[in-house]
Amino acid sequence: MEAVLWYVLTGTRGGENRVRILKTIEAQPRNANQLAETLDLDYKTVRHHLDVLMDNDVVQRSGDDYGAVYLPSQRCRANWGTVETILDRMD
């Protein structure tokens, strides 16, 4: 999982937005629309990044469709030290 986190958050285009999304949902789970508003990003951009994060088991969805909220996956939480290291290097 450590390699996945480094790749998804720093090794690919859009990593900075994925970091912002992950930090935001770690503080409080939110749906895609709330994330778009909070982060001042286009809704479709947020959905794309959430799909990437979900495909790599970094975030999970709770609920259905539009109102579903996103939160860090258990695997991500178990490796939160790596996430913090990444965050420190990006600041």
Q: Which CATH number does the domain housing residue 57 bear?
A: 1.10.10.10
Which contiguous run of DSSP H or E holds residue 62?
strand 59-62
pLDDT score, position 90: 80
3-state secondary structure of 78: helix
- Please name which of 34, 58, 57 lies closest in space to residue 46, comparing C-alpha atoms: 34
What angle in degrees, to the nearest 10, is found between the helix axes of 80-90 and 15-27? 120
Please give the residue range of the domain that contains residue 1.
Answer: 1-89
Structural domains counted in the chain: 1
- What are the residue ranges of helices labelled H in 1-91? 2-10, 15-27, 32-39, 43-55, 74-78, 80-90
For the stretch 3-31, pLDDT in tens is 999 999 998 889 999 999 999 999 999 99
Q: What are 46-62's pLDDT values in tens digits?
A: 999 999 999 999 999 99
